Structure 1
């Protein structure tokens, strides 16, 4: 049923006199989507408007449109945000905030809300924050002389213009230039093998390191050396220790054998005499055997003469 004409007339007069319309209320975010690096500080820029004659009573940010006890939760009262959230705006037009040390869990939608003495307003659709970390993408192994491209990747495109820094074995690379978020290694050598990580200039977050192995064509021996160098010499140290242990064992066995032989010679001084006698005895038996088979010429002639006589 349509309202009576006098009531419609009164409503029209109220709107004309007060000058209030939905166009007088609003919240604007710039930008509306933010991609931030883990552990960095994020600034969410925001402005708001409201009708003339209204007085601001409360301003705050929230990350949910669901009310609790008739009101949206205030982030500044949330233990997870209270120490990291700073309101940079005012109670007139500016509603900018800074959120520091962002984590992956901070990826969410955030809304600004303000209460006046006559009404309340929440800024929909809000600003979307995505927090990302860094990952290095590279081939696991390459051959000497190849050209290699390493990429510092993130789950979203960083809102702020980023200058990337590269590390090899935790040492910054200064001799090579990067292109955007890529590191180009042309004609790789064994010195290029190692653990690579990346970061963004001005930020503390560093990506996990990724191992790059450089394989050669002179044989497996050089590859072992390269891998050993890539792991900071740990493999080389282990090999050296094993070699030293083997040498010590061999030297100990040789020393033990020499000691045993020396002890035997000292305890049995007649060993040489016994050996000589044994040799002579064996030689005598051989001589007697030969004499029996082949008699001496002198003995044979003597026997013959006696027979004739």
Structure 2
């Protein structure tokens, strides 16, 4: 008699259980990286006397007055929300390209012919991928020859490096793995670095810009017009150099008789004399000199009237060679010139003034 009674109780409980809603979620708290896809795995069992006609997912947004509803009829990807279950036992939902606005609590609602059943479902948390950088000094800039380590992480991993990542430089794939090691960096290492989940390339981190600094290099002097041009041309010297940060100081030197004379401090220099020239550039990481440029400046005189005062000693009828700076009315270059004058035996100790046009 005791066994019979126990058997009837089990049958009664079984009947009650078969007429109850059972909804199971694999996770109650779901963490997703921004830009990735996430699936709310959901299974259910409905009472025998109720047939599910429609399933709705709802999103309770923190700042919204009404919940956003996603219908089980959304099986194709018209929106980022896609119902991937059925109306029998699977009530799973997939969200593509997760955004920060997707955070919050979700619920699932089962509509039958006679009533509806609703249950709360997981809470979604959305995080960003973060790049951590280690370098020789936190305060100092990255210099040529330094080593830099980059690590891609997200808080969904709980501080552990467990996800698979892909690294990009200026948008181009560079490396796979959680860490990127840049050894002995050079100017070509400069660029914008990002990382993303290997399985979700849309989950991109914020851009980390690396700017490698270095001293001046490839310092050259450009001659305008080019050497070999018309001898009467005025030359312009332009100093250029590659440096990061840019060149702070320019210095022009004129080399005469083995000595270097400082003649200017601008990127552009206008020489007046035939000689050898070079420029020297500096920034906070070093300095560099250009190669020597040799100029042969030939002067072509234009029309002018000049007065020359000549003092001499008597040599009879002779030729006298001298060096002078003439006083001219008109245009003439300020140079020293060599002349031969034919002087006709003036008196001893006297002088002669001659006005010449050339």
TM-score higher than 0.5: yes
SS in 2 for 1:105: helix
Indicate whether 1:33 and 2:29 are aligned.
yes
Question: 1:10-57 CA distances to partner (integer Å, 9 max, x unpaired)?
Answer: xxxxx9599336982232112333222323332211011222222223
Give the structure-1-normalised TM-score.
Answer: 0.58
Indicate whether 1:19 and 2:15 are aligned.
yes
- What is aligned with 2:157? 157
Relative to structure 1, the CA distance from residue 73 to residue 130 in structure 2 (aligned partners, 3 Å threshold; closer, same or farther) is closer
Shift of residue 192, structure 1, vs aligned partner: 3.7
Q: Give ranges in structure 2 of 5+ residues lacking alignment.
A: 1-10, 218-240, 251-265, 274-296, 315-345, 351-358
Kindly indicate whether the alpha-carbon contact (under 8 Å) linking 1:42 and 1:100 is maintained by their aligned counterparts in 2. Answer: yes
Q: Give ranges in structure 1 of 5+ residues lacking alignment.
A: 1-14, 229-234, 240-244, 289-309
Relative to structure 1, the CA distance from residue 97 to residue 134 in structure 2 (aligned partners, 3 Å threshold; closer, same or farther) is same
- What is aligned with 2:83? 87
Indicate whether 1:167 and 2:172 are aligned.
no
Indicate whether 1:42 and 2:42 are aligned.
no
SS in 1 for 2:310: helix
CA distance in 1, matches of 2:151, 2:124: 24
Q: How does 1:107-126 map to 2 (within 5 A)?
A: 107-124=103-120, 126=121
- What is aligned with 2:209? 211
Question: 1:182-216 CA distances to partner (integer Å, 9 max, x unpaired)?
Answer: 22334555554433221222423432321234467
Question: 1:115-150 CA distances to partner (integer Å, 9 max, x unpaired)?
Answer: 2344432222x1122223323222564456554321
Kindly indicate whether the alpha-carbon contact (under 8 Å) linking 2:58 and 2:108 is maintained by their aligned counterparts in 1. Answer: yes
CA distance in 2, matches of 1:136, 1:128: 26
- What is aligned with 2:286? none
Shift of residue 112, structure 1, vs aligned partner: 1.0
Shift of residue 95, structure 1, vs aligned partner: 0.4
Please tell me whether Structure 1 or Structure 2 has the larger radius of gyration of its CA atoms: 1
Relative to structure 1, the CA distance from residue 109 to residue 82 in structure 2 (aligned partners, 3 Å threshold; closer, same or farther) is farther
Higher RCO by CA contacts (8 Å cutoff, separation 6 or greater): 1
CA distance in 2, matches of 1:167, 1:199: 8
Question: 1:241-274 CA distances to partner (integer Å, 9 max, x unpaired)?
Answer: xxxx954x738x99xxx999733xx232xx3xx4
Q: How many residues align?
A: 232
Kindly indicate whether the alpha-carbon contact (under 8 Å) linking 1:136 and 1:152 is maintained by their aligned counterparts in 2. Answer: yes
Shift of residue 164, structure 1, vs aligned partner: 0.8
- What is aligned with 2:49? 53
Question: 1:158-201 CA distances to partner (integer Å, 9 max, x unpaired)?
Answer: 9xx74211123433324xx63xx222334555554433221222
Give the structure-2-normalised TM-score.
Answer: 0.51
Q: How does 1:1-309 map to 2 (within 5 A)?
A: 19-20=15-16, 24-64=20-60, 74-76=69-71, 83-124=79-120, 126-138=121-133, 139=135, 141-142=141-142, 146-157=146-157, 162-174=163-175, 178=177, 181-188=178-185, 191-202=188-199, 203-214=201-212, 220-221=215-216, 227=244, 246-247=267-268, 250=270, 262-263=301-302, 266-268=303-305, 271=306, 274-275=307-308, 278-280=309-311, 287=349
Q: Is the strand fraction higher in 1 or 2?
A: 2
CA RMSD of aligned residues (A): 4.6
CA distance in 2, matches of 1:65, 1:279: 103
